[in-house]
């Protein structure tokens, strides 16, 4: 079944706003869907505006093609299996996804929301990625998304697992 881009973006935006509102005691709701950025939101109490640019992220090469189009799972050049290797398979996918979105500058009221499509990466994995692999990508581009760069990822500690927000770049920060 083909992926409906707009519906997927709205679904990710709603998941993000649910987590964000709980964490920051805000009341943002989806106002409308657009193209650049993808979703416009408003806080029902303060009328503050927030725009969201959405990016689906795969941490296994070819995972989305496999699930959506039924294509065979890719074999890693580094493991010779369908299992991915962190440094050579996963990190380049994550860096590419972030680098691609950092080409745009949406300003102070836009957040980049990345949603991991496989529930494999936990907040500690994203923290490791942030510390070891993002400083060069974010350098000089921290303000392209003034409302922060966020990842919806999986906290594997409770059962069932839950979605959590991980902040890759703080709102209005210098990236660190």
Residue 149 pLDDT exceeds 80: yes
What is the per-residue DSSP string for 82-137?
SSPPIIIIIHHHHHHHHHHHTTS--BTTEEEEEEESSTT--HHHHHHHHHHHSHHH
Of 29-33, 120-124, 147-151, 163-167, the range with the lowest mean pLDDT is 120-124
Give me the residue spans of the domains in the chain. 5-169
Contact between residue 121 and residue 153 where contact means Cβ atoms under 8 Å apart: yes
pLDDT for residue 5 = 79
- pLDDT average, residue stretch 24-31: 97
Contact 161, 119 (CB under 8 A): yes
pTM beyond 0.85, yes or no: yes
The number of helices, as runs of H, and strands, as runs of E, in the chain is 5, 6
pLDDT in tens, 78-131: 777 666 778 888 898 899 999 999 999 998 999 999 998 877 789 999 999 999
- Over residues 47-84, the pLDDT tens digits come to 999 999 999 887 666 666 666 667 777 666 777 766 67
**pLDDT at residue number 173:** 61
The mean pLDDT value of the chain amounts to 86
């Amino acid at each position: 079944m083909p992926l409906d881009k707009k519906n997927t973006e709205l679904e990710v935006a709603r998941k993000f706003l649910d987590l964000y509102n709980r964490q920051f005691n805000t009341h943002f709701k989806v106002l409308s869907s657009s193209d650049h950025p993808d979703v416009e939101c408003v806080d029902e109490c303060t009328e503050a505006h927030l725009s969201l640019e959405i990016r689906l992220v795969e941490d296994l090469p070819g995972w989305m093609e496999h699930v959506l189009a039924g294509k065979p799972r890719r074999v890693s050049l580094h493991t010779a299996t369908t299992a991915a290797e962190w440094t050579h398979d996963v990190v380049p996918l994550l860096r590419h996804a972030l680098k691609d979105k950092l080409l745009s500058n949406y300003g102070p009221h836009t957040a980049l929301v990345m949603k991991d499509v496989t529930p494999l990466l936990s907040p500690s994995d994203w923290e490791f990625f942030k510390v070891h692999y993002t400083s060069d990508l974010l350098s000089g581009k921290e303000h392209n998304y003034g409302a922060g760069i966020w990842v919806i990822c999986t906290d594997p500690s409770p059962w069932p697992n839950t979605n959590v927000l991980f902040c890759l770049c703080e709102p209005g920060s210098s990236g660190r």
